[in-house]
């Protein structure tokens, strides 16, 4: 059960980052069967997509309005999302025995780590001092709620900024969940 303090935007985002890091560590250990690794990659992709969509819907608009140079920071973050979505899209349709699979996983992990490090070193500290506690709580709740309805598959050409992503995201998320169920993809 999450406490109100746990739903602060910064804690929510960093909590996701730690979960991603745990998955990265498991992937880097190269343990398990090829199918286990593919399942972990599919799960990681679903979580990354949910996380990215929620950030684009709520965290980056907050950065644009509250953080000095927030527009540039949000634009760089969205560009990083676009780059990693292309890698995730390639991995989505690829089997674990494909010769390119492990290399793409390594590239994805490296790109995501750079993005997470950038956020934790710059954007999140700036948001934590630029927004009051109530706003951070509100943003944290919104991010958590958005992740529940967000897509689970990469859509590199989907809109990355409000209001379009707020309208399209839940519908695409619903379709992704149907596709996941039909494909027996447990994400």
pLDDT tens digit sequence for 97-123: 999 999 999 999 999 999 999 999 999
The pLDDT of residue 8:
95
- Residue corresponding to tokens 């001092």: 129
The two most distant CA atoms of the chain are separated, in Å, by 49
Q: Output the pTM of the full model.
A: 0.89
Contacts with 80 (C-beta within 8 Å, 6 or more apart), sequence order: 111, 114, 115, 118
**131: pLDDT strictly greater than 60:** yes
Give the tens place of pLDDT for each residue, 148-187. Answer: 999 888 877 676 677 655 656 676 665 767 776 777 777 7
What pLDDT is attached to residue 1? Answer: 45
């Amino acid at each position: 059960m999450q406490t109100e303090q746990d739903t602060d935007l910064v804690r929510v985002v960093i909590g996701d980052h730690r979960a991603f890091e745990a998955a990265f560590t498991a992937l880097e250990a190269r343990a398990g069967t090829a199918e286990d690794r593919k399942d972990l990659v599919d799960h990681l992709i679903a979580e990354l997509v949910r996380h990215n969509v929620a950030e684009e819907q709520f965290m980056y608009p907050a950065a644009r309005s509250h953080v000095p140079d927030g527009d540039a920071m949000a634009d760089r973050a969205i560009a990083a999302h676009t780059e990693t979505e292309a890698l995730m899209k390639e991995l989505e349709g690829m089997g674990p025995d494909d010769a390119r699979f492990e290399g793409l996983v390594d590239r994805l992990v490296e790109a995501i780590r750079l993005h997470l490090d950038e956020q934790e070193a710059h954007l999140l500290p700036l948001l934590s001092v630029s927004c009051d506690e109530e706003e951070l709580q509100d943003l944290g709740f919104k991010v958590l709620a958005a992740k529940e309805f967000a897509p689970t598959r990469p859509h590199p050409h989907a809109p990355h900024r409000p209001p379009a992503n707020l309208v399209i995201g839940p519908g695409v998320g619903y379709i992704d969940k149907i596709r996941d169920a039909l494909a027996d993809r447990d994400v």
